[in-house]
Structure 1
Amino acid sequence: MTPANAPDISVARSHSAKRLSIIDAAARVFCREGFAGANIDLIAAEAGVSRQTIYNHHGDKENLLVAVVREVTERINAEVFDTLATFPDKPVDLEADLTAFAVRLNQNCLCNRDGKFLRKLLQTEGERYPELFAGWREHGPAKTWAALAARFARLAHAGWLDIDDPDVAARQFLALVNADLQMAMIFGDNLSEEQLHTAAANAVRTFLRAFGRARAIAG
């Protein structure tokens, strides 16, 4: 890297840091105040930038919320696919291995800061402003379902599961994994390791009763 290039890199890093600061500040304000109660001045103050900077980056409040949802969805997807890389494709004890995987899925993707942000935004604003969450619908859960379905299909092919439709199995697995945590998450509780493990164990046990073959259940 030559000295002549250094200013350009510094400017790019500064621009990226400012953009992320605005996104994170906007997510906090939207969650705290709701979309109707939030305004650009509040977000600018939270981000430590001028209101004009936000207008220059995003144009208006609607575009800013879309940008927040897109950024948070991308970050969650990155965590999801990192966690999917640990899926037990060649299980030793399918119930134990799937339970450990379910715990990681909840820890990394549902109970982390981005998961909490997105869940709160969807709960408070999704029904009123569905068009602002179109990107999440297209690029969020659908990608997770498809990737998880492919992994369940491989387990079925290897004789561990009895599945007619891997897509249905994937959606039901995720629903079961989240089921025992829903009430606590609605109220913003901090979940303990024990709660996460118990929820995962209950989910996997129920899932295998529906989809497990004899050797998976016995194992």
Structure 2
Amino acid sequence: MTPAIAPDIAVVRSHSAKRHSILDAAAGVFCREGFAGANIDLIAAEAGVSRQTVYNHHGDKENLLVAVVREITERINAGVFETLATFPDKPVNLEAELVDFAVRLNQNCLCNRDGKFLRKLLQTEGERYPELFSGWREHGPAKTWAALAARFARLAHAGWLDLDDPDVAARQFLALVNADLQMAMIFGDSVSEEQLRAAAANAVRCFLRAYGKARPHGT
């Protein structure tokens, strides 16, 4: 027999399920309709909850957008740091391993559903409502840059790279990784594995021309 679920646990699960349903529906509506065109009734209908439930969870449309951006940013950050754990700290073939890492970074964090949602929201609403994205600036790319910079600094210390400023190198690496994919991402096109790998190869080749060294010290 299926064990009974305690009432308080069931309530927590129900609350969490409604919260995720509201945030997912809101992300889709905001991306499709824009902030001005979105309304709570439409979000509630797509989430399968009442209008009052949305207000009970988030208060108003501005708070809901802030919550959507926060939730997506947290999910993207989780993917970023999971991917950063695969960074080639002790490479054998730095170019090949950085290419593989760049492919994973794009697949897991930038070209997935959450990355597409956040990019669309920033493109359409970031300039008009900058205050609603203030948390994203602090908790989104800044964390990624810092974590990636630390890893590049370790590669430089080991003799693989020649860096004056690891923070600049990290930002440039991410910009290069995205460079060949920008047009496809702006128009919401699907990006193939072949395109991801070609973009990563071009990015890493350019990055290593600027910062690479022939071999680490002592080898």
Please tell me the TM-score bracket, short chain as reference: over 0.9
Q: Which residue of 1 aligns with 2:212?
A: 212
Tell me the alpha carbon deviations over residues 168-215 of structure 1, each in whole angstroms, 9 at most, x when there is no partner: 000000000000000000111100000000000000000000000122
Q: Which residue of 1 aligns with 2:46?
A: 46
Q: Which amino acid in structure 2 is aligned with residue 96 of structure 1?
A: A
Q: Which residue of 2 aligns with 1:62?
A: 62
Shift in Å at residue 7 of structure 1? 1.3
Q: Which residue of 2 aligns with 1:136?
A: 136
Distance (Å, rounded) in 2 between the aligned partners of 1:165 and 1:36: 41
How many residues end up aligned between the 2 structures? 214
Distance (Å, rounded) in 1 between the aligned partners of 2:13 and 2:158: 47
Q: Which residue of 1 aligns with 2:33?
A: 33
SS of the residue 2:215 aligns to: helix
Pairwise mapping of residues 1-219 of structure 1 onto structure 2 (< 5 A)? 6-215=6-215
Higher helix share: 1
RMSD: 1.1
- Runs of 4 or more, structure 1, over 6 Å off, are none
Tell me the alpha carbon deviations over residues 80-139 of structure 1, each in whole angstroms, 9 at most, x when there is no partner: 000000000000100000000000000000011100000000000000000000010010
Shift in Å at residue 8 of structure 1? 1.0
Distance (Å, rounded) in 2 between the aligned partners of 1:171 and 1:54: 38
Structure 2 unmatched runs, 5+: none
Shift in Å at residue 5 of structure 1? 7.1
Distance (Å, rounded) in 2 between the aligned partners of 1:211 and 1:7: 59
Distance (Å, rounded) in 1 between the aligned partners of 2:113 and 2:104: 15
SS of the residue 2:100 aligns to: helix
Shift in Å at residue 30 of structure 1? 0.2
TM value normalised by structure 2: 0.96
Q: Which amino acid in structure 2 is aligned with residue 205 of structure 1?
A: R
Q: Which amino acid in structure 2 is aligned with residue 74 of structure 1?
A: E
Q: Which amino acid in structure 1 is aligned with residue 145 of structure 2?
A: W
Distance (Å, rounded) in 2 between the aligned partners of 1:140 and 1:197: 24
Structure 1 unmatched runs, 5+: none
